[in-house]
Amino acid sequence: MLGFFSKKIYLADYLEDFVDIHNHVLPGIDDGAKNTADSLALIRAYQSVGIKKIIATPHIFAPLYPNTPELIQDAHERLLLAMQEEGIDSFEIETAAEHMIDTKFEELMENDHHMPLSGGYMLSEMSFLQPPLNFDEAMIAINRRRLTPILAHPERYVFLQRRPKKLIKLKEQGILFQINLLSLAGYYDKEVEQLAWKLLDQGMVDFLGSDIHNMHHFKAIKELTLKPKRLEQLLPLIGKSIEVFY
- Give the Cα-Cα-Cα angle 189, 19, 65 (nearest 5 degrees): 60
* Residue 180 neighbours by CB under 8 Å, 6+ apart: 22, 152, 153, 155, 156, 187, 196, 208, 209, 210, 211
The predicted pLDDT at position 2 comes to: 46
Q: Which pLDDT tens digits describe the chain residue by residue (246 residues)?
A: 444 456 889 999 999 999 999 999 999 999 999 999 999 999 999 999 999 999 999 999 988 999 999 999 999 999 999 999 999 999 999 999 999 999 999 999 999 999 999 999 999 999 999 999 999 999 999 999 999 999 999 999 999 998 999 999 999 999 999 999 999 999 999 999 999 999 999 999 999 999 999 999 999 999 999 999 999 999 999 999 999 999
What is the value of pTM for the model shown?
A: 0.96
Helix axes 69-85, 36-48, angle to 10 degrees: 70
pLDDT of residue 5: 53
Residue 161: what are its φ and ψ, rounded to 5°?
Answer: -65, -30
| pLDDT score at 7 | 80
Residue ranges of domains in the chain, CATH in brackets: 9-245 (3.20.20.140)
Strand order in the sheet with 19-20: 19-20, 53-56, 92-95
